[in-house]
Amino acid sequence: METAVTMAHAMGRTLVLPPEQQMYLLKDGDVSFSNFFPLQKIAQEEAGIDVITMEEFLAEHGITGNLHDQTTGKISFPPHNRTDWNGRKNDARNELSPYLQSVAFVPNDWDPEKCMAAFPSTADETSVDQLQAIWDSIKNGQHGFPPW
Give me the residue spans of the domains in the chain: 2-103, 109-148
pLDDT of res. 122: 82
17, 51 Cβ separation under 8 angstroms: yes
Using alpha carbons only, give the angle 141, 143, 148 rounded to the nearest 5 degrees.
115
The DSSP code for 27 is -
pLDDT reading at 78 higher than 80: yes
pLDDT of res. 38: 81
pLDDT of res. 112: 72
Q: What are the CA-CA distances from residue 136 to residues 42, 128, 129, 144 (Å)?
A: 37, 12, 10, 11
pLDDT reading at 116 higher than 80: no
pTM of structure: 0.72
pLDDT of res. 103: 95
Averaged pLDDT, 1-10: 84
Nearest to 71 by CA among 40, 29, 102: 102
- Give tens-digit pLDDT for 24-36: 666 666 677 777 7
C-alpha span between 124 and 96 (Å, rounded): 39
CB atoms within 10 A of CB 32: 16
pLDDT of res. 52: 92
pLDDT of res. 96: 95
Where does residue 5 rank: exposed (0-12), middle (13-18), buried (19+ CB within 10 A)?
Answer: middle
Residue 138: phi and psi, rounded to 5, are: -65, -45
| Mean pLDDT over each residue of the chain, to the nearest integer | 85
